[in-house]
A and B are shown apart, each in its own frame.
Chain A
Amino acid sequence: MADMGDSGGGQSGGKKRAKKGSTRVDMTPLVDLAFLLLTFFVLTSTFSKPKVMSLVYPAKPKPDQVVDAQAQKINNAITFLLSENKIFYYEGEYYSAGNPKGKPATQLKETDFGPSGVRKLLADKNKSVIIGKAKLKAELDSKKIQEHEYLDGLKELKKADEALKVLIKTDDKAICKNFIDLVDELRIHEIGVIAPVDLLASEYELIKAKTK
């Protein structure tokens, strides 16, 4: 394009040969400019748009509504407790020392965010859902069921009695990164019921004793 050549010079008998070299335009500044702009846009543009992770918090009870904690009995639950960089958990309900039911007092177990910590625990506890999901997925892939049936089935699985439910409690030193990491981990392991709830005073004492 820029190479105009001197094709028009031959007609006048070859006498007017003022310019011998080609009349190329020097494109170096253009290239400089183009790459400058390119660098600017590469550096300023944000490619990875931030994503959002939705989390439904339990609704606050209305003032005139009497909350009966025992009525909402949860069958298969784990409670995670976060403090600073540590994560503790216990299974089932909370029993204080010397409770009327005569159950042993709840002990906190410590775990971590590594592959052998929370991840392994959740994979073990939530097996029914994970296996059920794999089955549904196989059926979906072999076109036995439709997409919406698959999604409905998954919802049912997550709500079922044997599916794991998780409560998350945080103390005053817990940091947001750990909270979100934990919710993320729960999502990975297909846990449908995630409830961030308030810490009991007695649980706080247990954490304090553990972190000392």
Chain B
Amino acid sequence: MAEVKGPKGSPTIDMTPMVDLAFLLVTFFMLSANFRSDEPVVVDTPSSIAAEEIPKNIVLITIDKGGRVFYGFTAGEEARKNLLIKMAAKYKVKLSQDHLKKFSLLTSFGCDVHQLPQYLDLDPEARKKTTGSIPTDSTNNQLKDWINFGNIEGLAAGKIKFEEAADKDPEVEMNEFKPKFILKVDGKALYSHAKNVIETFRDLDLNNLNFVTSLEANGEK
């Protein structure tokens, strides 16, 4: 009977399957991840049972705890540039090409349109520290113009997309490409703050609004 001998080499573990697994997971998360977009404020949205996802072409109004109002527009860089050109023309704000470029990459912002050049000159971290808000009071309702021009630009951008899609599939409807109006409100904000913004929308005859909510955790209630 031969004696059973243990293996001679060092007792290393074969890590190949582990590496395989780890990289598989890395790949999965890399592909499935959609990063948090850089927002000027953290907003804690209330939860609801709503299951609709946020559409692509939106005018997003963010209201934080203290009632500051932010404006975002996601119809694409070109549309954002056009929007700013219109706003600047209306409020007679002088902007450089560099400002336009920066604005076209901005997700959401909160400041008076007259301070926009200075705001755009700041770097993204410094912008978060500003305390501005988009004026919504009736004497100086800049939000109304932002929304109105956003709607016009959003419709134009949506129309181009719609025509492209209609070439491939004649059954698509224009409605899907129209800009939607989204309110992202902090749960702790006073409703009267939101109401100001809602009234602005209603003044423009835009009555179909959407509230951003997080998905209700199961068994929470």
Contacts and interface: CB of A to CB of B under 8 A. Distances in A.
Interface of A: 1-3, 20-22, 24, 26-28, 30-31, 34-35, 37-38, 41-42, 44-60, 82, 115, 170, 172-181, 183-184, 187-188, 196
Given A34-B19, A49-B54, A57 B198 contact: yes
Interface of B is mostly: mixed
15 contacts: A38-B29, A44-B33, A45-B33, A46-B33, A46-B36, A51-B212, A52-B50, A52-B53, A53-B213, A55-B210, A57-B208, A60-B203, A176-B46, A177-B46, A180-B48
Contacts, number: 169
Contact of B29 (A42, A50, A56, A187): A42
Contacts of A196: 198
A59 B207 contact: yes
Interface residues of B, number: 62
Interface in B176-211: 180, 182, 184-195, 198, 201-203, 205, 207-211
Interface of A is mostly: mixed
A174 B195 CA distance: 11
B160 interface: no
B126 to A, nearest CB: 23
Contact of A175 (B53, B187, B210): B187
Contact of B214 (A48, A60, A172): A48
B192 A170 contact: yes
Given A28-B15, A31-B22, A52-B52, A41 B192 contact: no
B48 A187 contact: yes
